[in-house]
Amino acid sequence: MNLKILLPAEIFLNEEVTKVVAEAENGFFCLMSQHVDFTTSLVPGVFSYSTAGGEDAYLALDIGTLVKKGSDILVSTRNAFRGPELGHLKEVVVSQFREIDEREKKARTAAAKLEVDLLRRFMELKYE
């Protein structure tokens, strides 16, 4: 199978693999070449795969989408990291990705406050 992991600005990984293990909203799953075509949303977590040479590799992935069609597996995600060991990748998932999510929540909250303030000011203009 050909695994391709896409980030917003680059192709992070393009490699021949024999197995992929990832985590979706409803739990972990494993894909191998004989599996049916499949699409799912990924949650932040550790993503593993076995290379054609038989080695296991681990990545930390942010939220994203996985599509398996035939022998191709395409993963689109915002962030991905390689790590020397599995424990380090778990730390990356917890610290980096959750921190990014918190910053995005704060930005959405600030934008909502600006919208409310703008609407309030328009309403004040209407009554003056």
For residue 85, CA distances in Å to 48, 80, 81, 113 come to 12, 15, 11, 42
* Domains of the chain, start order: 2-127 (2.60.15.10)
pLDDT exceeds cutoff 80 at 11:
yes
The partner residues of 20 in beta bridges, in order of sequence, read 31, 49
pLDDT exceeds cutoff 90 at 64:
yes
| Rounded Cα–Cα distance for residues 61 and 41 (Å) | 12
Question: Which of 5-19, 48-62, 63-77, 85-99 has the weakest average pLDDT?
Answer: 85-99
List, for residues 42-62, the tens digit of each pLDDT value: 988 889 999 988 888 888 888
24 close to 77: Cβ distance less than 8 angstroms = no
78 close to 7: Cβ distance less than 8 angstroms = yes
Q: What pLDDT does 128 receive?
A: 59
Pairing of strands 2-6, 45-51: unpaired
List, for residues 100-119, the tens digit of each pLDDT value: 667 777 777 888 888 888 88
